[in-house]
Amino acid sequence: MQALVPVFEETVLPHLDAAYNLARWLTRDERDAEDVVQEAFLRALRHFHTFKGGDARPWLLAIVRNTFYTWRKSNRSPEEEILFEEEKHPLADEAPDPEILLVRETDRQLIRNALHQLPKEFLEVIVLREFEELSYKQIAEIVQIPCGTVMSRLARARKRLVQVLLAGKNECGPAKCQVADSRATCP
């Protein structure tokens, strides 16, 4: 095992950020994500001898995903929701114009809220595809479903996101909306 540690570090550690990102989206809490990633890395090290070579990122993200589901069974009920706290995760923005910043932040918050409303099986494929930029094949390996199911889940997840976003905009009636940067936003 000691002989594998340097190879493990060289192969797997570069994907720590991707592992944390997936865990953060799934757990919706930074401390829980850290716990899940730590446990996932321990599992990955213990089972590194099963790694068949190639890109370690999908292999590691599959372990992170499975670790999350194991962790969730013992730590939280599936219905328990933890809101993303923007103050803890500020988004860097280069635009100095406060109005543009407000519109962008409103858009981000709408998307974030819509993502949090997705069922886990939709959320995980969206995060893996759109944020981690994995291929359908890699996602299928991680989630352990056929490629066609990945494409179907992505299509349904995107459709659900659109529905949630449109519903959010419809809740913003004309009296409540402000027009900024040629787009309507809710205050």
Q: Which domain holds residue 133?
A: 94-185
Q: Are residues 60 and 115 in the same domain?
A: no
Other C-beta atoms closer than 10 Å to the C-beta of 38 total 13
Cα 33-34-37 angle, rounded to 5 deg? 85
Is 84 among the domain residues? no
Is 29 among the domain residues? yes
Q: Give pLDDT, residue 164.
A: 87
Q: Give pLDDT, residue 172.
A: 54
**Residue where one domain finishes, among candidates 75, 109, 128:** 75
Q: Are residues 68 and 137 in the same domain?
A: no
d(CA 150, CA 122): 9
Q: Write out the chain's pLDDT in tens, 187 residues.
A: 667 788 889 999 999 999 999 999 999 899 999 999 999 999 999 999 888 888 999 999 999 999 999 999 888 654 554 444 445 545 554 545 777 777 777 778 888 888 889 999 999 999 999 989 999 999 999 999 999 999 999 999 999 999 988 887 666 544 344 433 333 333 3
Closest CA to 57 of 98, 16, 112, 2: 16
Q: What is the CATH number of the domain that holds 15?
A: 1.10.1740.10
Is 57 among the domain residues? yes
d(CA 153, CA 149): 6
Q: Are residues 102 and 155 in the same domain?
A: yes
Question: How many domains does the structure of the chain reveal?
Answer: 2
Q: Are residues 67 and 101 in the same domain?
A: no
Q: Are residues 176 and 99 in the same domain?
A: yes
DSSP 59-105: HHHHHHHHHHHHHHHHH--TT------GGGSPPP-----HHHHHHHH
Q: Are residues 116 and 175 in the same domain?
A: yes
Is 83 among the domain residues? no
Is 27 among the domain residues? yes
pTM confidence score = 0.63
